[in-house]
């Protein structure tokens, strides 16, 4: 019970009352207009890395059974890394946590939204810098330990146009991609700040032209999970919202499909 109450407090949805009294009645009351879906749907238009297996859904049953009741069931198959998804630290660190091992506390927390969309609109290869983080903190205060930092580039508006979103739509070729990301030094700063997770509304936390994936490597070395292909970051304030980002719990997985939401203040 105490654990549930602490989670509810973190989501800022409980009044300041004794824990025991709060849990039964108010712990999970959320108004629909305070919830923002940060995930793209998985379907035949879902964007995957050019070299990855795309999402497929095969209908197994869909209709009335001989017994007279309705029954529907499907089978799906896809790569771990595509659509709105989690990059577990093991994706780029041999000693990092796997998808099933990432602590829930790292996937639920106060959202900090750093917006570089205006610059990205004129430069598809731009990356979040330390100067961007300094400017954000000068205006909104220090990024707190335990925050989930979300980088808004504006790229979600291009979904699901693969060519506009990735910068190129050549099957099997990832050498000509162009989209914004996070620079190495900014990733180092975020690890130093003790953030719990970092997310972005593009196909990768590294810019599309990256060949060394330094942001991935820095964050993975710090056991910081990454959330990619997020949606609707423009609906969130710079601070005050809370994120709940729960991936499929794949044992020995390096990542997996993600349903992420934000709870507005």
Is this prediction's pTM over 0.95?
no
The single-letter DSSP state of residue 43 is S
**31/29 Cα distance (integer angstroms):** 7
Class of the CATH domain delimited by 31-52+80-263: alpha beta
> Hey, what are 116's tokens?
């570089």
Q: Residue 138, class by beta-carbon neighbours within 10 Å (0-12 exposed, 13-18 middle, 19+ buried)? A: exposed
Sequence spans of domains, the chain: 1-30, 31-52+80-263
Task: State the average pLDDT over residues 1-22.
Answer: 41
When the pLDDT of each residue in the chain is averaged and rounded to a whole number, the result is: 91
Q: Over 80: is that where the pLDDT of 45 sits?
A: yes
Higher pLDDT, 15 or 132: 132
**Residues with active-site annotation:** 91
pLDDT band at 33 (very low <50, low <70, confident <90, very high): confident
Tens of pLDDT, residue by residue over 162-206, are 999 999 999 999 999 999 999 999 999 999 999 999 999 999 999
């Amino acid at each position: 019970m105490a654990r549930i109450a602490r989670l509810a407090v973190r989501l800022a949805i409980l009044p300041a009352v004794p824990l025991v009294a709060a849990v039964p009645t108010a712990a999970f009351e959320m108004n629909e207009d305070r919830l923002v879906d940060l995930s793209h749907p998985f379907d035949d238009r879902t964007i995957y890395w050019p070299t990855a297996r795309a999402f497929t859904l095969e209908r197994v049953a869909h209709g009335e059974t001989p017994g007279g009741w309705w029954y529907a069931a499907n089978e799906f198959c896809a790569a771990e890394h595509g659509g709105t998804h989690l990059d577990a630290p093991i994706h780029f660190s041999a000693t990092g946590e796997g998808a099933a091992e990432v602590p829930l506390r790292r996937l639920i927390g106060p959202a900090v939204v750093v917006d570089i969309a205006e610059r990205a609109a004129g430069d598809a290869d731009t990356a979040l810098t330390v100067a961007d983080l300094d400017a954000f903190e000068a205006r909104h205060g220090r990024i707190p330990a335990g925050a989930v930092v979300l980088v808004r580039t504006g790229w979600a508006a291009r979904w699901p146009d693969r060519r506009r979103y990735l910068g190129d739509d050549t099957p099997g070729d990832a050498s000509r991609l162009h989209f914004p990301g996070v620079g190495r030094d900014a990733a180092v700063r975020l690890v130093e700040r003790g953030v719990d997770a970092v997310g972005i509304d593009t196909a990768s936390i590294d810019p599309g032209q990256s060949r060394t994936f330094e942001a991935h490597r820095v964050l993975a070395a710090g056991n910081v999970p990454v959330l990619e292909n997020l949606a609707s970051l423009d609906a969130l304030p710079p601070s005050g919202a809370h994120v709940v980002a729960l991936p499929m719990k794949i044992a020995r997985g390096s990542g997996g499909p993600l349903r992420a939401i934000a709870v507005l203040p």
